[in-house]
């Protein structure tokens, strides 16, 4: 007979597990005694940890077997490290939003356009509730749950396997036998209303309460001690998937059917629709059920059902093109506008923020709301049109606040009849409240219109801009330095320790020589200081696209940073090219504005940034510390990877957008016009001047079939 201790935790039967827990409790107690009381350990620390780990793993799998003399209970299980990171092999993306019926029609129209399908062809689309919890990815190998992780930033999440194992309707072992060798099942972890109320009642003595079920679910899943998670009654709905070793279905609905066969809970309100009208009908039906479902939902998700069409549609930068979330209308409440505060952002924009008398809107206490700009306060919209029927906002006003999902709360109305007689129109400042420089409304070079946003002209001398730039530099989608958040950026800036990004990387060296060490500062200790320095060091090598985004150049968001990375591949190449582009007649300028997705506004912003001598100097210093690495090419083996392709003529087999997305997925760059840098022209019927130019430049030219053959379709 095999010794029980040789059997993997996953393979233990209930009886075996009970015996193992009994043996482990005795063994651990004995070794504990040798160590603590006799000062004569008989096994290594590592072996002792292995015993404790095994004990805990068995307890996780069989929570009902936890013994009253459990060694984990006795010593209190607190792993010293926070959660380890989990890189998602397939990113976990979020969804684009629709807030009206028109948005839904646009979504379907966009899909038709992208796929080149007329209104005569029906496109089945599923509709299901959008669960208000947090998403998780569960990796099964050979039917067994191996790893469970949170979404994190979509690329990297936190490993919370043990915690997810305690969620009762997540199978440890997939049911049936028709599952693929590897499958990542994704869905939402949530807390039902009754469990939420019970939890808040249970912890009320501690003075702590969760604001809503989503916060409670997130707080419960991200516990270091999985036994706390186990007490929290979390639930899971499966609705999506990541990596899968072989296809198991041809449609979204069939896939959900498989999840159900494998033992997952799937949402019973999911339905297949054939038209926008159908979708809206299901939306209304689901909204009508909202109050009696027993768990929070915040909208309805629509997904193109045919997986082959999903694959063709693919992803735009952050969202799949084949799905959208139709949100329920925002919730509102009235309160008093107590003050208007002006914040200065990293690009110098002066943003007014409403300070409100705290009010609960849809379960969340709101005390701030965005006011966008001076025009917005005056009752003027982005295109000069009246908003709130032209009513302005004044301090002391009674206002209606609206909150929709995670969006920053907005003031949507004001009650003029309740306005105090002494109130006066709000005077928007013309000087930066932080550095005193003039704050001006620029004229947009392209449209000739005056910008609604007032900007501080202080640039590098404005402390507010500098702090915001630092915060942006370390933020999650930029350098993402663990333990270096807004609070630390402000404190370090305030103390003169870090005034620009390069300083972050010299912090440790300076700290060693300093009399006032970081570890001795309030709120810090030896461990947290060491962790921070390690987290900083871990970012000395960083993906180029993150680095470009982190610089905080105006108009350069994550998508644009990726476009630039793909095009220039190397930071120095980008820097040299942009400087060369300051001559508008240069090839460098043409090359820059020819990148699909980059227009003159972005190009001008890049020029302004790279041609500013102070920035140049700051960059040189930063590059002494940090090495940006080109984005990994996932599809580098395609014959078109790294090539510059131009599509022209009437494409008949796919739309232009689809062609572009296809090429980019394979690592090619798509340009709008033919130049010496073009490697390949794909010409549909009726191609004209671009084809002619390609012939003159002796550029390879193929038709649509040639293209499909080339990319192996
Ligand atoms: S599908 C690639 N379906 O909504 C698309 N998401 O805003 C994967 N969510 O991060 C998501 N219910 O946390 C999908 N039925 C549902 C959902 C759902 C809730 C959440 C999920 C996601 C977020 C996107």
Residue 525, in any domain of the structure:
no
566 to 83, 647, 699: CA distances (angstroms): 32, 18, 21
Q: Pick the residue whose CA is nearest to atom 23 on ligand 1.
A: 94
Same domain, 219 and 135: yes
Distance CA 135, CA 266 (A): 14
Residue 1 has pLDDT above 50, yes or no: no
Q: Pick the residue whose CA is nearest to atom 11 on ligand 1.
A: 94
Query: How crowded is residue 85: how many other Cβ atoms within 10 Å of its Cβ?
Result: 13
Residue 595 has pLDDT above 60, yes or no: yes
Summarised one tens digit per residue, pLDDT across range 390-445 is 999 999 999 999 876 656 788 989 999 999 999 999 999 999 999 999 999 988 76
Same domain, 611 and 663: no
Q: Pick the residue whose CA is nearest to atom 2 on ligand 1.
A: 93
Residue 677, in any domain of the structure:
yes
Distance 326 CA to ligand 1 centre (A): 11
Residue 32 has pLDDT above 90, yes or no: no
Distance 652 CA to ligand 1 centre (A): 33
- SS3 of residue 709 by DSSP: helix
Q: Pick the residue whose CA is nearest to atom 13 on ligand 1.
A: 135
Residue 105, in any domain of the structure:
yes
Residue 473, in any domain of the structure:
no
Same domain, 138 and 233: yes
Distance 102 CA to ligand 1 centre (A): 21
Distance 681 CA to ligand 1 centre (A): 38
Distance CA 490, CA 499 (A): 10
Query: How crowded is residue 171: how many other Cβ atoms within 10 Å of its Cβ?
Result: 20
Mutate to test the pocket of ligand 1, among 91, 94, 186 (most ligand atoms within 8 A of CB): 94
Give the bridge partners for 351, in sequence order. 343
Summarised one tens digit per residue, pLDDT across range 117-139 is 999 999 999 999 999 999 999 99
When pLDDT is averaged across residues 265-288 and rounded to a whole number, the result is 97
pLDDT over 70, % of the chain: 95
Q: Pick the residue whose CA is nearest to atom 24 on ligand 1.
A: 94
* pLDDT at residue 2 in the model: 57
Q: Pick the residue whose CA is nearest to atom 6 on ligand 1.
A: 130
Top pLDDT among 103 and 668 is at 103
Distance 95 CA to ligand 1 centre (A): 6
Residue 38 has pLDDT above 90, yes or no: no
Residue with tokens 């928007």: 428
Residue 79 has pLDDT above 80, yes or no: no
Same domain, 188 and 259: yes
Residue 306, in any domain of the structure:
yes
Distance 187 CA to ligand 1 centre (A): 7
Distance CA 317, CA 625 (A): 29
Residue 19, in any domain of the structure:
no
Summarised one tens digit per residue, pLDDT across range 204-247 is 777 677 878 888 999 999 888 888 898 899 999 999 999 999 99
Q: Pick the residue whose CA is nearest to atom 21 on ligand 1.
A: 135
**Residues within 6 Å of ligand 1 by CB:** 93-95, 128, 130-131, 135, 151, 188, 239-240, 301, 320, 323, 325
Please say which residue of 294, 327, 360 terminates a domain. Answer: 327
Catalytic residue among 130, 327, 562, 643: 130
Distance CA 647, CA 683 (A): 6
Distance CA 73, CA 227 (A): 9
When pLDDT is averaged across residues 303-320 and rounded to a whole number, the result is 92
Residue with tokens 């998602």: 88
Mutate to test the pocket of ligand 1, among 91, 153, 188 (most ligand atoms within 8 A of CB): 188
Same domain, 317 and 179: yes
* pLDDT at residue 77 in the model: 32
When pLDDT is averaged across residues 642-670 and rounded to a whole number, the result is 86
CB 235 within 8 A of CB 167: yes
> Which ligand 1 atom is nearest residue 132's CA?
19
Q: Pick the residue whose CA is nearest to atom 1 on ligand 1.
A: 240
- CATH code at position 619: 1.10.150.20
Strands of the 235-244 sheet, one edge to the other: 144-150, 134-141, 182-190, 235-244
Mutate to test the pocket of ligand 1, among 98, 126, 135 (most ligand atoms within 8 A of CB): 135
* pLDDT at residue 363 in the model: 67
- CATH code at position 178: 3.30.470.30
* Stated pTM of the model: 0.62
Distance CA 419, CA 417 (A): 6
Closest to 336 in 3D by CA, of 411, 275, 403, 398: 398
CA torsion 370-372-377-381 (nearest 10°) is: -130
Chain mean position to CA 319: 10
Residue 417, in any domain of the structure:
no
When pLDDT is averaged across residues 474-495 and rounded to a whole number, the result is 93
When pLDDT is averaged across residues 16-45 and rounded to a whole number, the result is 81
Same domain, 690 and 614: no
Summarised one tens digit per residue, pLDDT across range 237-264 is 999 999 999 999 999 999 999 999 999 9
> Which ligand 1 atom is nearest residue 267's CA?
15
Q: Which helix (H) or strand (E) holds 78?
A: none
Distance 304 CA to ligand 1 centre (A): 14
Q: Which two tokens stand for residue 600?
A: 């003159």
Mutate to test the pocket of ligand 1, among 91, 95, 137, 268 (most ligand atoms within 8 A of CB): 95
Same domain, 112 and 213: yes
- CATH code at position 689: 3.40.50.10190
Distance 130 CA to ligand 1 centre (A): 6
Distance CA 510, CA 107 (A): 54
β-pairing verdict for 644-648 and 669-670: parallel
Same domain, 677 and 621: no
Please say which residue of 629, 662, 682 terminates a domain. Answer: 629
Summarised one tens digit per residue, pLDDT across range 346-368 is 999 999 999 999 888 876 788 99
- SS3 of residue 273 by DSSP: strand
Distance 135 CA to ligand 1 centre (A): 7
Average pLDDT, the chain: 90
* pLDDT at residue 638 in the model: 84
Query: How crowded is residue 353: how many other Cβ atoms within 10 Å of its Cβ?
Result: 16
Q: Pick the residue whose CA is nearest to atom 16 on ligand 1.
A: 130
* pLDDT at residue 37 in the model: 62
* pLDDT at residue 28 in the model: 86
CA torsion 305-112-596-606 (nearest 10°) is: -70
> Which ligand 1 atom is nearest residue 134's CA?
13
Please say which residue of 629, 655, 685 terminates a domain. Answer: 629
Summarised one tens digit per residue, pLDDT across range 528-539 is 999 999 999 999
**Most trustworthy range by pLDDT among 66-70, 180-184, 634-638:** 180-184
When pLDDT is averaged across residues 484-494 and rounded to a whole number, the result is 94
Please give the tally of structural domains in the chain: 3
Which domain does 601 fall in, by range? 543-629
| Phi, psi angles (nearest 5°) of residue 57 | -60, -40
Same domain, 236 and 307: yes
Same domain, 212 and 297: yes
Top pLDDT among 68 and 148 is at 148
If pLDDT is split at 50, 70 and 90, which confidence band does 74 have?
very low
Distance CA 243, CA 232 (A): 29
- Residue 692 annotated among the catalytic residues of the structure: no
CB 355 within 8 A of CB 411: no
β-pairing verdict for 627-629 and 182-190: unpaired
Residue 267 has pLDDT above 50, yes or no: yes
Same domain, 603 and 669: no
Residue 33, in any domain of the structure:
no
Region of residue 495 (left: phi > 0; alpha: psi -120 to 50; beta: else):
alpha
Same domain, 622 and 684: no
Residue 75 has pLDDT above 80, yes or no: no
* pLDDT at residue 405 in the model: 61
């Amino acid at each position: 007979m095999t010794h029980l201790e040789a059997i993997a935790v996953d393979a233990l039967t209930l009886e075996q597990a009970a015996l193992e827990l009994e043996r482990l409790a005795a063994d651990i107690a004995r070794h504990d005694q040798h160590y603590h009381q006799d000062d004569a350990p008989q096994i290594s620390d590592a072996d002792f940890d292995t015993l404790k780990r095994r004990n805990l793993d068995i307890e996780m799998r069989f929570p009902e077997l936890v013994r009253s003399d459990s060694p984990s209970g006795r010593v209190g299980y607190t792993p010293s490290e926070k959660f380890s990171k989990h890189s998602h092999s397939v990113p976990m993306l979020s969804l684009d939003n629709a807030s009206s019926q028109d948005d839904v029609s646009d979504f379907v129209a966009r899909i038709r356009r992208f796929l080149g399908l007329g209104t005569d062809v029906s496109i089945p689309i599923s509709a299901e509730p959008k669960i208000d919890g947090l998403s998780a990815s569960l990796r099964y190998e050979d039917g067994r749950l191996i790893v469970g992780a949170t979404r994190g930033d979509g690329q990297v999440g936190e490993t919370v396997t043990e915690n997810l194992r305690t969620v009762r309707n997540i199978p440890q072992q997939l049911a049936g036998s028709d599952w693929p060798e590897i499958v990542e099942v994704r869905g939402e972890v949530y807390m039902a209303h009754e469990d939420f109320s019970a939890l808040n009642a249970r912890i009320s003595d501690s003075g702590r309460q969760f604001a809503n079920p989503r916060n409670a679910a997130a707080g419960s899943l991200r516990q270091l001690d999985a036994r706390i998670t186990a007490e929290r009654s979390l639930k899971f709905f499966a609705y999506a998937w990541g990596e899968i070793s072989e296809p198991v279905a041809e449609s979204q609905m069939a896939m959900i059917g498989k999840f159900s066969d494998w033992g997952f809970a799937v949402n019973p309100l999911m339905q297949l629709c054939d038209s926008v009208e159908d979708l809206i009908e299901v939306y209304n039906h689901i909204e009508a059920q909202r109050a009696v479902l027993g768990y929070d939902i915040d909208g309805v998700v629509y997904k193109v059902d045919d997986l082959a069409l999903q694959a063709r549609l693919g992803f735009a930068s952050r969202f799949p093109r084949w799905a959208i979330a139709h949100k329920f209308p925002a919730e509102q409440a009235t309160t008093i506008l107590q003050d208007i505060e002006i914040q200065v952002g990293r690009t110098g924009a002066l943003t007014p923020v409403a300070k409100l008398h705290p009010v609960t809107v849809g379960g969340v206490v709101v005390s701030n709301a965005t006011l966008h700009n001076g025009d917005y306060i005056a009752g003027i919209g982005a295109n000069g049109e009246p908003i709130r029927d032209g009513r302005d906002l004044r301090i002391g006003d009674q206002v209606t606040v609206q909150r929709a999902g995670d969006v920053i709360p907005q003031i949507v109305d004001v009650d003029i009849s309740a306005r105090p007689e002494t109130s006066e129109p709000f005077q928007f400042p013309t000087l930066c409240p932080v550095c005193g420089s003039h704050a001006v409304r620029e004229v947009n070079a392209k449209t000739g219109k005056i910008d609604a946003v007032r900007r501080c002209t202080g640039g590098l001398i404005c402390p507010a801009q500098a702090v915001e730039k630092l915060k942006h530099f370390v933020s999650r989608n930029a350098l993402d330095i663990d333990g270096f958040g807004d609070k630390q950026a402000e404190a370090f800036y305030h103390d003169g320790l870090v005034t620009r990004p390069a300083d972050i990387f010299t912090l440790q060296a300076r700290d060693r020589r300093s009399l006032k060490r970081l570890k001795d500062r309030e709120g810090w200790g030896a461990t947290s200081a060491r962790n921070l320095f390690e987290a900083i060091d871990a970012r000395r090598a960083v993906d180029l696209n993150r680095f470009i985004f982190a610089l905080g150049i105006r108009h350069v968001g994550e998508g644009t940073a990726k476009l630039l990375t793909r095009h220039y591949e190397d930071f120095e190449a980008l820097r040299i090219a942009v400087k060369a582009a300051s001559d508008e007649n240069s090839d460098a300028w043409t090359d820059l504005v020819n990148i699909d997705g980059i227009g003159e506004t972005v190009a001008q912003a890049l020029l302004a940034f790279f041609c500013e001598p102070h920035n140049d100097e700051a960059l040189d210093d930063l590059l002494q510390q940090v090495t940006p690495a080109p984005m990994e090419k996932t599809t580098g083996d395609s014959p078109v990877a790294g090539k510059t392709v131009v599509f022209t003529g009437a494409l008949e087999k796919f739309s232009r957008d689809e062609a572009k997305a296809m090429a980019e997925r394979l690592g090619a760059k798509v340009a709008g016009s033919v130049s010496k840098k073009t490697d390949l022209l794909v010409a549909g019927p009726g191609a004209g001047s671009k084809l002619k130019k390609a012939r003159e430049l002796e550029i390879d030219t193929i038709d649509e079939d040639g293209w499909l053959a080339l990319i192996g379709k």
